[in-house]
Structure 1
């Protein structure tokens, strides 16, 4: 496999990173994962906007444009001979002295990894879910960044072991619904779409934001807030989202069954998702596109 590393596409075995990189020493780095549909990076502008904002907060001097990253993606896909892929864009702070640094990081390490995927299908793929014993930790700052600090997610993944078709759902310390290990959580009751507020400390997922905008267009009532488990367990349907797996209906949580991939709202949102995944750069284009 070839990777993009600091401006060059090289074999993965050739990538060398100093142990003094503060991404390694202190977890100071950010990443974005997004999906390539027949060569198109879906919602790339939104991913880059979140990444650029986070880099500013971490005092890492790097900002990325669509043109720069698209060029890197095209080089990477061509070298690996793929058109449908899962991309991870990783920015690590770079080398520094041992100790916490307050000065700006001026030479970050930039990497892109591409993993081949099958072309996206029209059929929804459902999963089961469980409530996690591990609680969702609070963000390190005002909002949760998509950072290298992933221990909470790793502990949760170890809790559910190797259950491929299962997602674990975090609760906060106050026992409010938070998010999945690698997903945001939604449920529907009486034409209202519910999802935890970002004030619970969850990651404001790019797919989460896209789904909320689709829901507005379909004139669903939307409730974002602090919800206990009973709210979800009384739902008509439940689904989770992320940028790689898209929309994943939940068929069961513990002993409670749900419609899974037969859910009406999940099915409609997935249809919309498929319609736009091959050309949309940002959710901001969505409203105008639907009105055409």
Structure 2
């Protein structure tokens, strides 16, 4: 495959970055993953807005425009002969030598990875993880290179793609999936953990909340217990690659397909808009 590295389209095996890149040394880097549908990067503006906000927090200067990102994506899609793809846009602090610094980073490293969309499962089973969700490094969770907590969660459940591990906070509140946000429905009200629990405010999560608001479907964000989740009528997870995936079971709690009313409606709206927004 070909990737984008600092303005160049190169073969992935030829890609090289500095061993002094602070994205590698200290985890100072952010990334966005999103889908491209028939050449259209879905919700790209939202992803770039979150990325730039986080880079400002980390004092990483990044002068790439939206137009340049779109152009780079189109180039790697063309080079790889793809129209539907998985994209990861990665910006790290860049090389700055050994040791921590407090000055802004002015030589960031930009990489755009691309791969074919893997075969997606239609539904998943949720399992509660023993390892707890770590707290954000700053005032809120960034989509950063600090991924050890997620990896340990994934190691706990293994490679089964039909499972999604569900983190709890250290206090025992429901948090999020390893790579997803979590929603459930009780009596036609949609529930999801508040970002103050320390979860990532996912772009697809934000999109779902906007759809619910526009349709005047009541939703509540908060600090919820296991009983709140396990007494619900339907449940689903979201992320930008897997889209909206129903959970047919969480531990021993079954969610009948016949109860997936809001999940199916959201999936329908997503499919209507994924080539547009």
TM class by shorter-chain length? over 0.9
Shift of 1:97: 1.9
**Distance in 1 between residues matched to 2:71 and 2:44, nearest whole Å:** 12
* Residue of structure 2 equivalent to 1:55: 55
Residue ranges of structure 1 left out of the alignment (5+ in a row): 281-292
Deviations 1:240-266 (A, max 9, x none): 000000000000111110025860100
Shift of 1:184: 0.2
User: Which consecutive aligned stretches of 4+ in structure 1 deviate over 4 angstroms post-superposition?
Assistant: none
* Residue of structure 2 equivalent to 1:26: 26
Query: SS of the residue aligned with 1:209?
Result: helix
Find out whether 1:253 has 2:271 as its counterpart: no
Contact map agreement 2:20 2:96 (CA 8 A) in 1: yes
* Residue of structure 1 equivalent to 2:196: 199
**Distance in 2 between residues matched to 1:63 and 1:7, nearest whole Å:** 12
Shift of 1:218: 1.9
Query: SS of the residue aligned with 1:240?
Result: strand
Contact map agreement 1:48 1:64 (CA 8 A) in 2: no
Contact map agreement 1:250 1:260 (CA 8 A) in 2: no
Shift of 1:64: 3.8
Contact map agreement 1:168 1:180 (CA 8 A) in 2: yes
Contact map agreement 1:261 1:267 (CA 8 A) in 2: no
**Distance in 2 between residues matched to 1:65 and 1:167, nearest whole Å:** 35
* Residue of structure 2 equivalent to 1:137: 134
Give the structure-2-normalised TM-score: 0.97
**Distance in 2 between residues matched to 1:279 and 1:160, nearest whole Å:** 36
> Number of aligned pairs?
277
**Distance in 2 between residues matched to 1:63 and 1:205, nearest whole Å:** 24
Shift of 1:13: 1.1
Shift of 1:119: 9.9
Contact map agreement 2:185 2:191 (CA 8 A) in 1: yes
Q: List aligned pairs for 1:123-202, cutoff 5 A.
A: 125-202=122-199
Residue ranges of structure 2 left out of the alignment (5+ in a row): none
**Distance in 2 between residues matched to 1:159 and 1:71, nearest whole Å:** 39
* Residue of structure 2 equivalent to 1:72: 72
How large is the Cα RMSD of the aligned pairs? 1.4
**Distance in 1 between residues matched to 2:141 and 2:273, nearest whole Å:** 27
Alpha-carbon distance change, 63 to 220 in structure 1, aligned in 2, over 3 angstroms: farther
Alpha-carbon distance change, 260 to 200 in structure 1, aligned in 2, over 3 angstroms: farther
Contact map agreement 2:233 2:259 (CA 8 A) in 1: no
Contact map agreement 1:84 1:118 (CA 8 A) in 2: no
**Distance in 2 between residues matched to 1:203 and 1:129, nearest whole Å:** 18
Alpha-carbon distance change, 196 to 64 in structure 1, aligned in 2, over 3 angstroms: farther
Shift of 1:63: 4.2
**Distance in 1 between residues matched to 2:177 and 2:5, nearest whole Å:** 30
